[in-house]
Structure 1
Amino acid sequence: MSRSTRTGQRSPHVADSHDLIRVHGARVNNLKDVTVEIPKRRLTVFTGVSGSGKSSLVFSTIAAESQRMINETYSAFVQGFMPTLARPEADLLENLTTAIIVDQERMGANPRSTVGTATDANALLRILFSRLGKPHIGSPNAYSFNVPSVKASGAITIERGNKKTVKATFNQTGGMCPRCEGRGAINDIDLTQLYDETKSLAEGAITVPGYNPDGWTVRYFTASGFLDADKPIRKYTKRELHDFLYKEPTKVKIENTNITYEGLVPRIQKSFLSKDKEAMQPHIRAFVERAVTFTTCPDCDGTRLSEAARSSKISGKSIADLCAMEIRDLAEWVRKLQQPTVAPLLATLQHTLDSFVEIGLGYLSLDRPAGTLSGGEAQRTKLIRHLGSALTDVTYVFDEPTIGLHPHDIQQMNDLLLRLRDKGNTVLVVEHKPETIAIADHVIDLGPGAGSDGGTITYQGPLAGLRKSGTLTGRHLDDRATLKPEVRTPTGTLEIRGATTHNLQHVDVDIPLGVLCVITGVAGSGKSSLLHGSLPTDAGVITVDQTPIRGSRRSNPATYTGLLDPIRKAFAKANNVKPALFSPNSEGACPACNGAGVIYTDLGIMAGITTTCEECDGHRFQTAVLDYHLAGHNISDVLAMSVAQAHHFFTTGDATTPAAHTILTRLHDVGLGYLKLGQPLTTLSGGERQRLKLATHMADKGGIYLLDEPTTGLHLADVEQLLTLLDRLVDTGKSVLVIEHHQAVMAHADWLIDLGPGAGHDGGRIIYQGTPADLVTNPTTLTGKHLAEYVTR
């Protein structure tokens, strides 16, 4: 086969070729009848500004159809237990292979999930201890903190006539710490945050979110027969108070329904405390933070394991000891373990641990909660299980795999991508970093703009052609930063003394205020520990990090930013009606679809169908509401406007609304002028979500802004706009602290603080603090070397 065929440069008219993934007429989200042919067994990088349609093409079209077709190969019974996937809107999707998505989604809201459980490393260690651990305490489950440690025994028998013959027996025990139930922490609930003792249940004594006096959650208590609904809680007898708060599960009949009644405290523990706090809705999370104090379990010292599991050891180390090690140290420990009887097991475990180190995550430990990993760390952790896979001709799909990586580590990621390709796989990468774009066999650039201004293919072909193409990506591909001729003078300092959070080694540092201060260092060097874990709690810091926006498909930029409130009031004033009419989630909602704009039909084991509501034609509002106008537009028209269009609309004529103008200005300033006001938050890219959060925080009162990798998801051309925004914040008297790997942001800083020199226990120290110019002049650190290579002088 010729090289031209392998790189996808053969004639597009060869219809019988199976070496190309063919997409014709794709119309998912903002894609405009996109037709493209992607070479198989090659590395293709998709570029373009945030919101140009990259993810819509790669994830929502190609990968989605691959997964949907794979699901259809299972029996109808199995499909009934799988999520239903809609067919992407496209005329033709041909020659697809099995798609494996390695994205940035956080790894699980389950607090029981750790790095070890998420990658099978824990499972391998448990088997190892069940074979070699002394004293021997049982099967692999005996070392699992997710299996209760109550001993169970039994037998499987065969009956022959009146005789029973024992077939097999078992004696099993789990490794869960009974005190904390395998969580590593115990909680203490502040009862004053659960109820108002001066009120009765009927008067709304319970102050827990969701416990409304007229709702079932309160009738559960009032109709149980144990409590007096009209009696203030402070007048309860000792027995009544126990039944209200702590009563053990008891069968009762409420409204002719048999249910199990239990006290308020165990109900809260099951409904709230069994979930990851970071995955909760904001008001629920605020309640948990207010009402619950978590402390390390004194029985297991936070290891989650029972005393028996901790007592069993190999070469003087328990499984808890090994899981607490940095993975690179654990890899060396396993390498020295010479045990021929378990050689295959050791080889598999060794490969898994070495993969962590190779991918730049050797500083993690297996007991690290999976939910605490950053998006980039989560993505690289997911990649581990595929590095040793014997599968070939698979399509691997990556979403900005360089996120969270120091320039020094990007080459490692590039090598891994190339290795997957060289095994005969198709590798599709959505990426902004020029270092990764540079290794592509094929580049597909989308644009020319974002949102409605994007969704078309502006270039496809080799990298050399991209530079000559004249597209936005091509023009900015070789951008380099320049050092500022002058830096700002600090107006004060924020002192950190003796910081020891995670791997910080008694760090003392004075963070300058009134300037743009950038914190740098390799992944795992201690940057987040320094700023997120060590800043004084009373410093008034406004944090804009990478945690996802929590919102349903009903949420959109207008609702999230509070923009809908002044818009509703403007419509209400112009038409002399109630503001609630102009909310699709309130009185103005279409009754047929309840304001969703679509009707979802569940077809059981078949894929569900989402259709536009015929009653409101997808507008979400009652017909009568759409008869009300503001300056010639109804509420649906306004929500269909882009930020830029709405910005003009609400500053002219009868529609002038200062409160709306203020919010729209902030959205425009963070580069979201193309976003539609009513666009569901679920359709926004990672970069769009982060900038939306930044826009909302710009209204906060506070003197110090902390941003965590704000260039995430930003196109090369958008970084300059971000720097302008950061300058504007500083020039208005704010102090801006930025954790960042992008050299353009480093070069633009007034002050750099570099942590390292390595990651984990090899990091946690300040190895440079000063101006970018001084570091470039004398590049003594990894950051300095890469910055010196990047800037133009």
Structure 2
Amino acid sequence: MSSKPIIIEGAHTNNLKNISVEIPKNKITVITGLSGAGKSSLALSTIAAAAQRQVNKTYSAYVQQLLPHFKEPEVDKIKNLPFTVVVDQKGIGNNKRSTLGTYSDIYSALRLLFSRLAKPFIGYSMNYSFNNPVGMCPRCQGLGEVREIIPEDLLNMSKSLNEGAIEFPTFQPGGWRLTRYTESGFFNNDLPLRKWSESKITLLLNGEKQVPPNPTRKWHKSAKYIGLIPRITQTFLSKNDSQYQNDLKRIVKVKVCPACHGQRLNAKALSAKINNNNIADCSMMSLIELKLWLSRINDEKTKLIQKEIEAKLTNLINAGLGYLSLNRTTTSLSGGEAQRVKLANYLNSDLTDLLYVFDEPSVGLHSYDLHKINGIFRQLRDKGNSIIIVDHDPEVMAIADKIINLGELAGEKGGYITFTGDFKNLVQSNTLTGKSLRNFGSLKSETKLFNNFYHISNVSLNNLHDISIKIPQQSFTAITGVAGSGKSSLVKIIKKQYPQTAVLGQREIRGNNRSNVLTYLNVFDQLRQYFADATNQPIGLFSFNSQGACPICKGKGMLKLDLAYIGESVTVCEACHGQRYSEKVLKLKVNGLNIAEAMALSPADFAVKYPILNPAMIALKQVGLSYIKLNQSLDTFSGGELQRLKLAKFLLNQSSKILVLDEPTSGLHEYNIQDLIDLLKSLISTYQLTIIVIEHNLRLIGQADWIIDIGPYAGNKGGKIMFSGSPEQLIDKGKTLTAKALKQYFRL
């Protein structure tokens, strides 16, 4: 691979201000700056997008149409660009058959190990596969769980069949499937079900397939009768019918498979063992336990297999995932966990000379875990790869060979390169990043006295066993500990004990190019009504999704030209110039602006012209989103911005006194984090809230009123309440990993 640096000239994607920069090869480059300053625009929308587009062009036109399409970056020139791999925080599967074991290929190697050594010998490795008929449990089809229909939720016993006693679509009066019961001749169709005999209810629900002896004349001659439960199971459950998912959720209960007890395999596969453990036992061990179990096997004919499994386990453990097990479904992994699984997988690859682009890999990681991740970045670099990391965390910045700081502010006030160099010089620079790194916040030194507490006593969940804690009311409480220690489980306990608790998690807001800030906050109708009243026009005219839509682009603001195999070409609509509305609507002005121009304002400017939405504008300003445009599509927001948007919506509709935030500093620069801390503390006094945060950021933890530290480690080596009290007490008396990290951070 050429050692010539990647050269970017004249990048003006999104808010980038025609910037030029060099990325060194075979080095670690960290791109940092405030949230919204342009980091993702440079790393992902420019560099990665350009690379992916070039790679896609090497495939046939037919294959190109099947690949992801990347918007062409706005850049004058990019030179010396290698093959690029983007490692983001998106999930790694939406299939319940996909597990950590299958995704990482460790389970495949484990199957091979069992086929060689397990006693009794049951055949080749496929016999141990829960995704193959020869190995899967016949009861649950290898899923480890079964879905059962709950009769009480399916039937309304106070109604007759003709009145709609079967509460499921197509079995209601008028639905053709109901005739399979009303015309069978078995039932009194006008008698409420509560008056039926037990045998008739059993026949309705679970009747075997049969030809009815006395059906009505409307009964189809070749039709056979079968009970409701087997019919719905065969027609809807077994086929995973997406059309009726919400209806199925209402009547179906998921439980562990009674045949395999959640182990996914048939009895034959479960009978074969190595050192008294079958393959399902191994899949349920934590990765750390599995590695120890593997080390006790001493057989020459499986040395190579063991070596492969051990290497992959080591990479996952070093990524801070030793608490997971191979049977963990990929759908259940958090964004941060999924990203680290991908990271460990790339370490297993023999490919080199690649460019890896990581999107905020520090999210969800304790300082203890970050040290391990940093080691993996160095390993990838030392194998001959180039690394770009978009991140805010000082511990990640510290390992960089080169740092690029974007800013200084966000949105239109960002997009400039304000620093390039090493970490030492960044700390001394006059940038907001440098100033934040020099001022690492204050440690709360006084212990605040609380009189009232929320109590939780002797509760167990997941790896938390018989725990008891108290959380001071109207306080700022941080729940800390390494990834997998039990923090999220504790929040579930809090929510169960105190149902009024509002939890703002990390789940992304599902947005598209028709959803914007005002629609998410549910205040768009107020603005439309304001314009309608002021112009004496119907409210529907001010919606770009209906009457007011531009007739050319149908309210999208963009036109897509399908170029068949070449892909799509997206251009701004020339009729409305991207404003989405028809010419008639754009001529209607209130306070000097039409509705499209009003929505293009920032919250601060909007509040001056249109006080009608002041509560929403104040909420946006409070959470640090004063720089955004109100018409900005939700699919263009960063993860940190979406987190703050959720908080704004909570403030606007505030109805709970307990608010839980799951890692609210995700995606936030240290400069923004102090603003967030100040905001959360002001909300406590303004709204008399109790705010609880799951958090790893040491600046925030140091300023909390109360800390609940869980550990000492993850999985079954965690789940203990290691400390409960003030930050000062934790540093003074605590011997935990969090206490150690706080001491290092505050130079104590």
The letter for the 2-side match of 1:684 is F
Alignment of 1:464-503 (within 5 A): 464-503=424-463
Match of 1:628 in 2: 588
1:209-265: CA deviation from partner (whole Å, max 9, x where unpaired) = xx7x9xxx9999559996999xx99789999999999999xxxxxxxxxxxxx9666
Distance between the aligned counterparts of 2:522 and 2:633, measured in 1?
A: 15
Does the 8 A contact of 1:143 with 1:305 survive in 2? Answer: yes
The letter for the 1-side match of 2:264 is R
Distance between the aligned counterparts of 1:312 and 1:516, measured in 2?
A: 53
Match of 1:147 in 2: 132
Does the 8 A contact of 1:50 with 1:688 survive in 2? Answer: yes
Distance between the aligned counterparts of 1:729 and 1:630, measured in 2?
A: 34
Distance between the aligned counterparts of 1:233 and 1:23, measured in 2?
A: 75
Does the 8 A contact of 1:481 with 1:743 survive in 2? Answer: no
Match of 1:674 in 2: 627
Distance between the aligned counterparts of 1:356 and 1:274, measured in 2?
A: 34
Does the 8 A contact of 1:100 with 1:397 survive in 2? Answer: yes
- Per the alignment, in what secondary structure is the counterpart of residue 66 of structure 2? coil
Does the 8 A contact of 1:49 with 1:450 survive in 2? Answer: yes
Alignment of 1:771-786 (within 5 A): 771-786=726-741
The letter for the 2-side match of 1:705 is L
Match of 2:347 in 1: 387
Distance between the aligned counterparts of 1:574 and 1:414, measured in 2?
A: 58
- Per the alignment, in what secondary structure is the counterpart of residue 360 of structure 1? helix
CA apart distance, 1:666: 1.2
Alignment of 1:207-356 (within 5 A): 222=176, 266=234, 268-269=236-237, 290-356=250-316
Match of 2:715 in 1: 760
Distance between the aligned counterparts of 1:550 and 1:401, measured in 2?
A: 22
Of residues 392, 405, 423, the one that matches 1:432 is: 392
Distance between the aligned counterparts of 1:348 and 1:593, measured in 2?
A: 55
More displaced stretch, 121-130 vs 78-87? 78-87
Q: TM-score, normalised by structure 2?
A: 0.88
The letter for the 1-side match of 2:699 is A
Match of 1:253 in 2: none
Task: Select the structure that is richer in helix.
Answer: 2
2:492 is aligned with 1:522: no
Distance between the aligned counterparts of 1:585 and 1:330, measured in 2?
A: 55
Distance between the aligned counterparts of 1:766 and 1:519, measured in 2?
A: 10
Distance between the aligned counterparts of 1:669 and 1:199, measured in 2?
A: 53
Distance between the aligned counterparts of 1:566 and 1:669, measured in 2?
A: 21
Distance between the aligned counterparts of 1:235 and 1:582, measured in 2?
A: 52
Aligned residues, how many? 719
The letter for the 2-side match of 1:136 is F
Match of 2:222 in 1: none
Match of 2:63 in 1: 78
- Per the alignment, in what secondary structure is the counterpart of residue 563 of structure 2? coil
Does the 8 A contact of 2:659 with 2:690 survive in 1? Answer: yes
CA apart distance, 1:509: 1.6
Match of 2:636 in 1: 683
Match of 1:44 in 2: 29
Does the 8 A contact of 1:245 with 1:265 survive in 2? Answer: no
Does the 8 A contact of 1:481 with 1:792 survive in 2? Answer: no
Match of 1:612 in 2: 572
Does the 8 A contact of 2:158 with 2:192 survive in 1? Answer: no
CA apart distance, 1:538: 4.1
- Per the alignment, in what secondary structure is the counterpart of residue 419 of structure 2? strand
Does the 8 A contact of 2:161 with 2:192 survive in 1? Answer: no
The letter for the 1-side match of 2:649 is T
CA apart distance, 1:688: 0.9
- Per the alignment, in what secondary structure is the counterpart of residue 65 of structure 1? helix
Cα separation, partners in 2 of 1:770 and 1:285, compared to 1, 3 Å: farther
CA apart distance, 1:604: 3.2
Cα separation, partners in 2 of 1:221 and 1:739, compared to 1, 3 Å: same
CA apart distance, 1:85: 2.9
Percentage of identical aligned residues: 41
Match of 2:329 in 1: 369
CA apart distance, 1:461: 2.3
More displaced stretch, 132-141 vs 543-552? 132-141
1:741-791: CA deviation from partner (whole Å, max 9, x where unpaired) = 111111111111111112122111111111111122234222112212323
CA apart distance, 1:96: 0.6
Distance between the aligned counterparts of 2:526 and 2:251, measured in 1?
A: 34
Distance between the aligned counterparts of 1:582 and 1:195, measured in 2?
A: 45
Distance between the aligned counterparts of 1:128 and 1:274, measured in 2?
A: 38
Question: RMSD between aligned alpha carbons?
Answer: 3.5
Distance between the aligned counterparts of 1:243 and 1:617, measured in 2?
A: 61
Does the 8 A contact of 2:160 with 2:192 survive in 1? Answer: no
CA apart distance, 1:272: 5.9
Distance between the aligned counterparts of 1:224 and 1:178, measured in 2?
A: 30
CA apart distance, 1:471: 1.4
Of residues 688, 699, 709, the one that matches 1:733 is: 688
Distance between the aligned counterparts of 2:33 and 2:293, measured in 1?
A: 45
Of residues 682, 703, 724, the one that matches 2:657 is: 703
Q: TM-score, normalised by structure 1?
A: 0.83
Match of 2:616 in 1: 663
Cα separation, partners in 2 of 1:566 and 1:343, compared to 1, 3 Å: same
Cα separation, partners in 2 of 1:558 and 1:745, compared to 1, 3 Å: same
Alignment of 1:632-643 (within 5 A): 632-643=592-603
Does the 8 A contact of 2:456 with 2:497 survive in 1? Answer: no
Distance between the aligned counterparts of 1:220 and 1:339, measured in 2?
A: 67
Distance between the aligned counterparts of 1:440 and 1:391, measured in 2?
A: 22
Match of 1:169 in 2: none
Cα separation, partners in 2 of 1:565 and 1:205, compared to 1, 3 Å: farther
Distance between the aligned counterparts of 2:238 and 2:540, measured in 1?
A: 35
Does the 8 A contact of 2:723 with 2:734 survive in 1? Answer: no
Distance between the aligned counterparts of 1:242 and 1:641, measured in 2?
A: 64
Cα separation, partners in 2 of 1:564 and 1:245, compared to 1, 3 Å: farther
CA apart distance, 1:491: 4.8
Match of 1:159 in 2: none
Cα separation, partners in 2 of 1:708 and 1:223, compared to 1, 3 Å: closer
CA apart distance, 1:519: 0.9
Alignment of 1:740-755 (within 5 A): 740-755=695-710
Distance between the aligned counterparts of 1:705 and 1:285, measured in 2?
A: 30
- Per the alignment, in what secondary structure is the counterpart of residue 406 of structure 2? strand
Does the 8 A contact of 2:518 with 2:631 survive in 1? Answer: yes
Does the 8 A contact of 1:201 with 1:222 survive in 2? Answer: no
